[in-house]
Structure 1
Amino acid sequence: MAEAILLKDKRWSLSGMTALVTGATRGIGHAIVEELAEFGAVVHICSRNQADIDRCLTEWKSKGFSVTGSVCDVLSRHQRENLMETVSSIFHGKLNILINNAATVIAKESTDYTAEDVSTIMQTNFESTYHSSQLAHPLLKASGYGAIVNISSLAGLKAFPNVSVYAASKGAINQVTKNLALEWAKDNIRVNAIAPGAVMTLLLEACMV
């Protein structure tokens, strides 16, 4: 059994790989960072709150993980651009893995959504994923081996009550994932989406209030 574990670890080693994970200080993003770091990747994270970043970096340093972080509200185009400049500087113009995880949800009846609600959800969930992928493209291409993983949702595939706009944003992510995978295969960049079901995170709790 021990030998099998060693072989698995060697097979899936991410030693020498670099990764960027958005929305990484809690929930699914936090777990992804730990998994990447356990397999040897050097990871940069972003979050809206510096205190949350500092808390996580202290935790991960105690585990021997190689993780850095910077503040970025992915709702802001300017902050997304600054984030990618930071990542380019830290990783010397190359990036192997981009995890588009940051997202928000506003739970309401479909008749109650405002224009501001729709803009906030679509910009945070879909536009940030699309734009971050565009910004990361030259870094991923330069690495010679790039991978994008977009965190979608089961809500993007089937209907659930009170999350119609969130569902639409995740459905858009599912489709653009296919398009980017097709277009960027020539650049040796793989693009995939993961659609989790219900995971007890703060995002899910917001839907249950």
Structure 2
Amino acid sequence: MGEPKLSRMKDKRWSLDGMTALVTGGTRGIGHAIVEELAEFGASIHVCSRKEEDINRCLEEWKNKGFNVTGSVCDVLHRHQRQTLMETVSSIFQGKLNILVNNAGIDISKQIIDNTADDISTVMATNFESAFHLTQLAHPLLKESGSGNIVFISSITGVKAIPLLSAYSASKGAMNQFTKNVALEWARDNIRANAVAPGPIWTPLLESVMVCFKI
């Protein structure tokens, strides 16, 4: 087991000991890395994923590292599953949540003219509507914690046009604007909101995009 990150630091000002976090899509790619970073700083974390086998694999891995992580199945595309997820989180963390990371997302890479109504609905519901709804559901838990933080995992495509990613880009652009509204309206509840817009990072999602580009 590696040395805990905090033990290598000169002070404890970055400690997340006692903090709770929910990371959607936390078993792969960026989400997986976020979980490990939060756990290394002492946070207790709940993750969700569409696949139970992914959750079980990661929970075993994190247990061996000494991380305090729980998980449950949730396809954020579906409203009722999002509601069940937040009920689970509320129960595990006794009605308080310090950190919400809206990370789960999908992409359908097509020319604009080839996107179907189902394509657009699926991308917007998974990437943007789910983040909007989970943020709504998390509000009382974040407020109750006394120090709430929301992180939206956006993308550079939300501010820059890239071929074949029109629906994905639109969902991330909407997320960027929503982040501003959340930060404005919920500052009085001591809840902060920030969007992170990564460029290309080699994850399973990016790999699918590269296949479409034949790179």
- Fold shared, TM-score > 0.5 on shorter chain: yes
Q: Which residue of 1 aligns with 2:179?
A: 177
Q: CA deviation at 1:7?
A: 2.3
Any unmatched runs of 5+ in structure 1? Answer: none
TM-score, normalised via structure 2 length: 0.94
Q: Deviations over 1:38-92 (max 9, x none)?
A: 0000000000000000000000000000000000000000000000000000000
In structure 2, relative to structure 1, the CA distance for the partners of 1:92 and 1:169 (3 Å cut) is same
Q: Take 2:88 and 2:33, find their aligned partners in 1: how far apart are those partners?
A: 23
- Give the counterpart of 1:130 among 121, 129, 132: 132
Cα shift at 1:147: 0.1
Of 16, 31, 46, which residue of structure 2 is paired with 1:14? 16
Partners in 2 of 1:187 and 1:139 — Cα distance?
Answer: 11
- Counterpart CA distance in 1 for 2:81 and 2:109 is 26
Say which SS state the counterpart of residue 9 (structure 2) adopts. Answer: helix
The Cα shift of 1:5 comes to: 4.2
Label 1:31 to 1:4 Cα distance change in 2 as closer, same or farther (>3 A): closer
Determine the C-alpha separation between the residues in 2 that align with 1:182 and 1:7: 34
> What secondary structure sits across from 1:198 in the alignment?
coil
Aligned length: 206
Which position in structure 2 is the counterpart of 1:119?
121
- Find the counterpart in structure 1 of residue 46 from structure 2: 44
The amino acid of 2:59's aligned partner reads: L
Tell me by how many angstroms 1:208 deviates: 1.6
Secondary structure in 2 matching 1:190? strand
The answer on 1:90 being equivalent to 2:92 is yes
Alpha-carbon distance between aligned partners in 1 of 2:132 and 2:207, rounded to the nearest angstrom: 26
Structure 1 CA distance, aligned partners of 2:144 and 2:72? 22
1:115, CA displacement in angstroms? 0.2
Offset of residue 4 of structure 1: 10
1:4/1:132 CA distance change after superposition, 3 Å = closer
C-alpha distance in structure 1 between counterparts of 2:9 and 2:179, whole Å: 33
| In 2: Cα distance, 1:208 partner to 1:121 partner | 18
Between the aligned partners of 1:31 and 1:52, the Cα distance in structure 2 is 14
Which residue in the other structure is 1:26 paired with?
Answer: 28
For residue 6 of structure 1, report the CA deviation from its aligned partner. 2.4
CA distance in 1 between partners of 2:7 and 2:98 (Å): 27
Matched, 1:72 2:112: no
Select which of 87, 100, 103 maps to 1:101.
103
Tell me how far apart the structure 2 counterparts of residues 91 and 59 of structure 1 sit (CA, whole Å). 22
- What is the distance in 2 between the residues matched to 1:18 and 1:44? 8
TM normalised by structure 1 equals: 0.97
RMSD: 1.2
Give the deviation of 1:23 after TM superposition.
Answer: 0.2
Q: Gapped runs of 5+ residues in structure 2?
A: 1-5
Counterpart of 1:197 (choices 190, 193, 199) is 199
Equivalent in 41, 44, 57 of residue 55 of structure 1: 57
Match for 1:30: what amino acid?
A: H
- Distance in 2 of aligned mates of 1:26 and 1:118: 23
